[in-house]
């Protein structure tokens, strides 16, 4: 029997999804995208899993769409169909799920592979990893949210450079530019991600989901609208069991015991 294209393992509240076509640098086939989407949909509503990690098997995170995954030899992939059915729902799902999604970028992240990583809330990358907006090399435009994320994260000039020149960006430069959270030594990636996920899984996870929602809304809001949203979400956070526990524990000078329960 062939190996699953997406490996799934849950431990201590952390769901780890591993893109698993190492021979093809984890290039996404349609079957793999469907599997990833369904795993993410399940994770979004699973209260036993407050944190999700996305990573790749072997030497790459993902080389983007598998350009050979077509029904007939000689065809080219139906880009609009792929975006509509697979990439766009996945990108929206990562952004909207009320829990942190971490990307552990273990090697090259190219094309839509880079942009799936950039959709995640926290991006850790091995120092040897690179980010490549490969699209211009094959006559396409950056998709899977790349043209939205890049100018917001690193500014218009750098976004244009990456998209038009299609040159790889090192993990270190990606960190220096603010594209990712952290570049770490290759042999420290697993332990750094584990420390972060342990911390997040033990945190007030309901409030983390609300923070994520407020941050996501900010790019479309005026300050006044955002202040209203913060008031509404803070009302929910402070009325939640974790909000009460956090304040009580602080006042009692003890460590809080969070449960992640909703108000
Ligand atoms: O129309 C649409 O498809 C719409 C959707 C668009 C979304 C996209 O993601 S478009 C962008 C697709 N990705 C790319 O254009 C990147 C293609 N890959 C590369 O340029 C290179 O593989 C890398 C720079 C990422 C890495 O180079 P290198 O030298 O380290 O590895 P390699 O030898 O090129 O790749 C290793 C194997 O993976 C090789 O297979 P083989 O010859 O050993 O059997 C290679 O063909 C395969 N592979 C890598 N990327 C893809 C791929 N196979 C299919 N599709 C790929 N994207």
State the Cα–Cα distance between residues 30 and 124, nearest whole angstrom: 26
Give distance in angstroms: CA of 139 to centre of ligand 1.
14
Q: What pLDDT score does 263 carry?
A: 60
State the Cα–Cα distance between residues 46 and 39, nearest whole angstrom: 10
Beta carbons within 8 Å of 258's beta carbon, 6+ residues apart: 202, 203, 204, 205, 242, 245, 246
Percentage of residues of the chain with pLDDT beyond 90: 97
pLDDT (tens digit per residue) in 173-194: 999 999 999 999 999 999 999 9
State the Cα–Cα distance between residues 223 and 229, nearest whole angstrom: 10
pLDDT classification of 1: cutoffs 50, 70, 90: low
Q: Cα–chain-centroid distance for residue 74?
A: 33
Residue 50 has pLDDT above 70, yes or no: yes
pLDDT (tens digit per residue) in 235-252: 999 999 999 999 999 999
Question: Residues near ligand 1 with C-beta < 6 Å?
Answer: 24-25, 27, 63-68, 77, 79, 82, 108, 110-112, 134-135, 138, 140, 143
Give distance in angstroms: CA of 102 to centre of ligand 1.
23
Select from 5, 73, 110, 142 the residue to mutate for testing ligand 1; criterion: most ligand atoms less than 8 Å from CB: 110
| Minimum CA distance residue for ligand 1 atom 28 | 25
Ligand 1 atom at minimum distance from 135 CA: 11
Cα separations in angstroms, 262 against 55, 100, 258: 29, 16, 11
Give distance in angstroms: CA of 238 to centre of ligand 1.
48
**Angle at alpha carbon of residue 110, lines to 106 and 114, rounded to 5°:** 70
Ordered DSSP codes for 38-103: HHHHHHHT-TT--EEEEEESTTEEE-SB-TT--SSTT----HHHHIIIIIHHHHHHHHHSSS-EEE
Select from 19, 25, 118, 138 the residue to mutate for testing ligand 1; criterion: most ligand atoms less than 8 Å from CB: 25
pLDDT (tens digit per residue) in 146-177: 999 999 999 999 999 999 999 999 999 999 99
Q: What pLDDT score does 180 carry?
A: 98
């Amino acid at each position: 029997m062939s190996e699953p294209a997406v490996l799934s393992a849950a431990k201590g509240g952390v769901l780890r999804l591993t893109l698993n076509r190492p021979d093809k640098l984890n290039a996404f086939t349609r079957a793999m995208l469907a599997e990833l989407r369904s795993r993410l949909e399940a994770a979004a509503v699973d209260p036993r899993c407050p944190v999700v990690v996305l990573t790749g098997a072997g030497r790459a995170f993902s080389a983007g769409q598998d350009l050979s995954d077509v029904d007939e030899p000689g065809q080219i992939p139906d880009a609009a169909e792929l975006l509509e059915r697979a990439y766009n729902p996945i990108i929206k799902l990562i952004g909207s799920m009320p829990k942190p999604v971490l990307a552990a970028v273990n090697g090259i992240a190219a094309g839509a592979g880079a942009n799936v990583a950039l959709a995640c809330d926290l991006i850790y990358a091995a120092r040897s990893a690179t980010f490549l907006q490969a699209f211009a090399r094959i006559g396409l435009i950056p998709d899977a949210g790349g043209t939205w994320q890049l100018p917001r994260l690193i500014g218009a000039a750098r976004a244009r450079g990456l998209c038009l020149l299609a040159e790889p960006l090192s993990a270190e430069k990606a960190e220096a530019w603010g594209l990712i959270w952290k570049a770490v030594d290759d042999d420290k990636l697993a332990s750094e991600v584990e420390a972060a996920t342990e911390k997040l899984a033990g945190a007030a996870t309901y409030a983390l989901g609300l923070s994520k929602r407020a941050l996501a809304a900010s790019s479309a809001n005026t300050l006044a609208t955002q202040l209203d949203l913060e008031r509404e979400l803070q009302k929910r956070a402070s009325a939640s069991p974790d909000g009460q526990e956090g304040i009580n524990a602080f006042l009692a000078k003890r460590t809080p015991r969070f449960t992640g329960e909703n108000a």
